[in-house]
Amino acid sequence: MTEIFTLGEALGVVSADRLRHDTDVRLDVAGAELTAAVGLARLGHSVTWLGRVGVDELGARILTVLRGEGVDVSHAQTDSAAPTGLAIRQRRIGRVGHVVHYRGGSAGSRLGPGDIPARALQSAKVLHVTGITPALSGTAWSAAHHAIKLAREAGVAVSVDVNHRPQLWVDRQEAVEALTELAMGADVLFANQDELQLIEPAIGTVRELVVTRGGKGASATINGMRYDAQAAPVTVVDPVGAGGSFVAGYLSGMLEELHPTDRLRRGSALAAFTVASHSPWQGLPTRSELPPLTF
């Protein structure tokens, strides 16, 4: 049995100041669901990650990272017909970056309903999905919705992070329709302030709505009652991964039945650890490293 079951695409990331000139670049792996999985595992929770990776070095690196962090990847698929996805990030001004994705036809985009292990998912306490997965392909869209259907049938709580990535959608209207439909299947819904307008019709249907506001903190509205917490003070090195880290902290607190304010504090603490690092997951804390108020 696993506490958290999550699915999505993990990919390689090459980071540079200016790729045409740099001879030294940084290679990492990333993915919102990967970050959440690692964050939860480092806090001692049992986590299963499902995705497809290519039979290549990047795919091997992704699975090696997850296994090394204690995440169950026994249901992950290796795809000999497609490569692992890749993103290239270039830093332009300060912390503002330019990202180019090479995800079309990737192994991760070929995730489908047939890849979902019903028994493993339905034995979990929480299913976590993001709005990134449905944007990848028609089969990935079907996989996310099939997973939610299986979870609902078994009484597994559904967590959805809107995670709107405009570059992955044909246009805004397509994103609004798909993300709203996804959000309506959530028990716990995560969105940043700007994403609320995208999923407005779903807001009233969600039992637990968590809204992040960057440096202004975060709030949770649960059955009509609102709770707030300040952002953890931190010097930002790289903001990538903050969302997935926050989700990990909040879901950890939810699993442990912490007060909503303490769930928010734990989410903010994990996000702070992440943005203080160059990697979206390597800086995540273990249980012993959590600040006292979030323990």
Evaluate whether 260 touches 273 at the Cβ level (below 8 Å): no
Q: What is the pLDDT of residue 96?
A: 57
Neighbours of 131 (CB within 10 A): 28
Q: What is the pLDDT of residue 100?
A: 87
Interior CA angle at 240 toward 237 and 243, to 5°? 120
Closest CA to 47 of 291, 284, 294, 283: 284
CA 148 – CA 128 distance, rounded (Å): 9
Q: pTM, whole model, 2 decimals? A: 0.95
Parallel/antiparallel/unpaired status of strands 86-93 and 96-102: antiparallel
CA 222 – CA 162 distance, rounded (Å): 18
Q: What is the pLDDT of residue 263?
A: 97
> And the tokens for 27?
């290679």
Summarised one tens digit per residue, pLDDT across range 250-280 is 999 999 999 999 999 999 999 999 999 999 9
DSSP state string for 81-123: TSPPPEEEEEEEETTEEEEEEE-TT-TGGG--GGG--HHHHHT
Residue ranges, the chain, pLDDT below 70: 92-97, 293-295
Look-up of token digits 């989700």? 247
Dihedrals phi, psi of 165, to nearest 5 degrees = -115, 95
Q: What average pLDDT is seen over the chain?
A: 94
Closest CA to 131 of 50, 32, 23, 24: 32
Q: Which residues contact 149 (CB under 8 A, 6 or more apart)?
A: none
Summarised one tens digit per residue, pLDDT across range 215-234 is 899 999 999 999 999 998 99
Neighbours of 39 (CB within 10 A): 31
Sheet of strand 4-7: strand arrangement: 47-50, 4-7, 126-130, 157-161, 188-192, 208-212, 218-222, 225-229
